[in-house]
Amino acid sequence: MKIVVQKFGGTSLATPEMRCKVAEKIINAKRGGFKPVVVVSAIGRKGDPYATDTLIDINSQICRDIHPREMDLLMVCGEIISAVVLANTLKARGYEARAFTGGQAGIITDTNFTQAEILEIKPDRILESIKDGRIPVVAGFQGITEQGDFTTLGRGGSDVTAVALGEALSAYAVEIFTDVDGVMTADPKIVPNASVLSHVSYLDVLELADKGAKVIHPRAIEYAIRAKIPVFIKNTSNSTPGTVISFENERSFGPKNIISTQVVTGVAHITGRIQVTIYQDDPIINNRILALLADNHISIDIINIFPDKMIFTIDEGKKERASQIIKEYNCKFSIIENCSKISVVGSKMRGVPGVMSAIVRALTRNNIQILQTADSHTTISCLVKGEDTAKAVIALHQEFELYKKNK
């Protein structure tokens, strides 16, 4: 049985016209001899009645401290509505379909509400539905605990549902349908001449996603690597080939003759960071502060430790709690708010000299101040002021001539 998992994001489902295009993609897969298993996100974006952000907003108007269990119970509704609506759209076109919640699809998670991990998938009901000739339409982004509580998998988690189901069903491939033509060399909302990557390795896309490229959830890629499943990113609104994500040397799924020689694959960015500097020369106190931040689930990155100070970045939402912790130790500290982390990603940059120098050249030429840097074998990140975000992404995209990729 040749199963293909097809996941459709919120904007792909936003209107009846869009849902017809979605139905076409599913019917085409069926006509091509595949057994489609469909995964859906909540309909629309912030402001639309059943979008995840709208559901969160409804609640925050009532009370701020909603328990994560209740938060999940509220958020899962968006995807459940979407699954029923799409199953009925297929039925209206003469195709038998059946909607499932994540739990009904057999997705069992831990109890870490709002950020749950999938423990196992029992796909019996999905397989039964396929055997009965009904297209399964599964509510993404959710699962159920062993006790029967609904959970969600973290924002953007429908991608995770799709690949996890792909693994559990030994699917031939996972297709992620969205509102762009594939994985691009930068966010096209910021860089209008960003190019579509016809093929990108798991490692590069994992790094891009981890550094802010929202087009796919990083955990979905981790699952795809584990299951060795190729993932396609495609546009719901057209029939362009999109991007195939697989191992670096495995191009058989995508267009053949295109092997990029460039060292940099793309530029990603994350906004809403703050930079914290603690003026403190006692390493024991520094260690205690870091431990307490971790105990409070405050994740830090781009950290530099000097003899007389320690500098790191955190999410702006954690500012109040982090400040309280640092004050407990009577340390002098300062904060630069509204920063962005811009990352240049490319697994082929390993050992290639000159990448950092090109980054610094491009940013300084554009009068962009670098507040901090971090690097690994595959990525160089720079912290810049929030107001410089677009300018920095465009400058780096231009510097590495990423607009020429795959052309």
Smallest separation, CB 211 to Mg ion (Å): 16
**What is the Cα 199 distance to its own chain's centre?**
18
Q: Which is nearer to ligand ADP, 48 or 187 (by Cβ)?
A: 187
Q: Which is nearer to ligand ADP, 280 or 378 (CB)?
A: 378
Q: How far is the CB of 7 from ligand ASP (least distance, A)?
A: 8
Residue 93 near residue 147 (C-beta atoms within 8 A): no
Pattern 251-290, binding to ligand ADP, x per CB under 6 A? Answer: ---------------x------------------------
Query: Is the separation of the CB atoms in 171 and 225 below 8 Å?
Result: no
Nearer to ligand ADP, 202 or 312 (CB): 202
- The rounded distance, in Å, linking the Cα atoms of 26 and 318 is 42
Minimum separation from the CB atom of position 158 to ligand ASP (A): 3
Please tell me the distance from the alpha carbon of residue 340 to that of residue 392, in angstroms, as a whole number: 10
Q: Which of 5, 6, 10, 80 binds ligand ADP (CB under 6 A)?
A: 10
Report the alpha-carbon angle 99-102-105, nearest 5: 70
Task: Evaluate whether 203 touches 347 at the Cβ level (below 8 Å).
Answer: yes
Q: Is 11 in the site for ligand ADP (CB under 6 A)?
A: yes
Closest approach, Cβ 378 to ligand ASP, in A, equals 25
Mapped onto helix, strand or coil, the DSSP state of residue 138 is strand
Given ligand ASP, Mg ion, ligand ADP, none, residue 254, with its beta carbon under 5 to 8 Å by kind, binds: none
Q: Please report where in the chains the tokens 């991007």 appear, as a residue.
A: 243
The per-residue DSSP string of 309-350 comes to EEEEEEEGGGHHHHHHHHHHTT-EEEEEEEEEEEEEE-GGGT
Residue 11 near which of ligand ADP, ligand ASP, Mg ion, none (CB within 5-8 Å, type-dependent)? ligand ADP
Give me the residues that bind ligand ASP (CB under 6 A), please.
9-10, 41-42, 52, 78, 140-141, 155-159
Q: How far is the CB of 162 from ligand ADP (least distance, A)?
A: 10
42 vs 264, beta carbon nearer Mg ion: 42
Among 156, 166, 182, 254, interactor with Mg ion by CB under 5 A:
156
Q: Does residue 95 come out as left (phi exceeding 0), alpha (psi in the -120 to 50 range) or beta? A: beta
Residue 41: CB minimum distance to ligand ASP, A: 3
Closest CB to ligand ASP among 41 and 378?
41
280 binds, among ligand ADP, ligand ASP, Mg ion, none (CB under 5 to 8 A by kind): none
DSSP string, 196-225: B-SEEEHHHHHHHHHTT-TTS-HHHHHHHH
What is the distance between the alpha carbons of residues 278 and 332, in angstroms, rounded to a whole number?
A: 6
**Interaction pattern, residues 208-227, with ligand ADP; x per rule: CB under 6 A:** x----xxx------------
Question: How many Å apart are CA 14 and CA 34, to the nearest integer?
Answer: 25
Note the residues at the interface with ligand ADP (CB under 6 A): 9-12, 41, 156, 178-180, 183-184, 186-189, 208, 213-215, 266
Note the residues at the interface with Mg ion (CB under 5 A): 156
